[in-house]
Homo-oligomer: A and B are copies of this chain.
Amino acid sequence: MATTVEKPAITESISIHPPRRLLFGPGPSQVHPRVYRAMAQPVVGHLDAYFFEISGNVQRMLRQVFGTQNELTFVISATGSGGMETAISNFVQPGTKVVSFANGFFCDRMSEMARRQGSELVRFEKPWGEVFGDEEAAEFIRSQKPQVVMYVQAETSAGAFQRGDAICKAAHEVGALVIADCVTSLGAMPVEVDKTGIDVAYSCTQKGLSCPPGLSPITVSPRAAEWLKARETPNRSWYFDLKLIADYLTVSHRYHHTASATMFYALHEGLTLIEEEGLEDRWERHHKAHLEFVKGVEAMGLEMLVPAANRIWNLNTPKVPQGVDEAKVRATLLKEHGIEIAGGFGPLAGKIFRIGVMGPLATSDHVHGLLAAFGKALRGAGYGR
Residues of chain A at the chain B interface (Cβ within 8 Å): 1, 3-8, 10-12, 14-21, 23, 25, 27-28, 30-31, 34, 36-46, 48, 50, 54, 77-82, 84-85, 89, 109, 112-113, 116-118, 204, 206, 212-214, 234-240, 256-263, 265-266, 268-269, 272-273, 276-277, 281-282, 285, 288-289, 292, 295-296, 340, 360, 362-365, 367-368
Contacts and interface: CB of A to CB of B under 8 A. Distances in A.
Contacts of A6: 363-364
A370 to B, nearest CB: 12
Contacts of A19: 44, 50
A6 B260 CA distance: 33
A300 B89 CA distance: 51
A120 to B, nearest CB: 16
Given A14-B37, A258-B81, A292 B5 contact: yes
A325 to B, nearest CB: 19
Nearest to A35: B14
Contacts of A109: 238
A31 B44 contact: no
B42 A20 contact: yes
5 contacts: A5-B292, A28-B44, A28-B261, A89-B236, A263-B263
B1 A368 contact: yes
A82 B265 CA distance: 21
A38 B20 contact: no
Q: Which of A16, A36, A257, A263 has the most CB of B within 10 A?
A: A16
Nearest to A254: B345
Contacts of A1: 292, 295-296, 364, 368
Contacts of A364: 1, 3-6
Contact of A28 (B214, B258, B292): B258
B45 A40 contact: no
A28 B362 CA distance: 36
Nearest to A49: B19
Nearest to A290: B5
A272 B34 CA distance: 26
Contact of A17 (B41, B78, B236, B295): B41
A236 B239 contact: no
B212 A43 contact: yes
A38 B15 contact: yes
Contact of A116 (B3, B8, B113, B236): B236
A277 B9 CA distance: 7
Contacts of A257: 79-82
A116 B212 contact: no
Nearest to A276: B10
Given A43-B212, A212-B263, A258-B213, A7 B363 contact: yes
A37 B12 CA distance: 10
Contact of A282 (B8, B23, B38, B112): B8
A28 B51 CA distance: 12
Given A14-B269, A235-B116, A214 B277 contact: no
Contacts of A256: 81
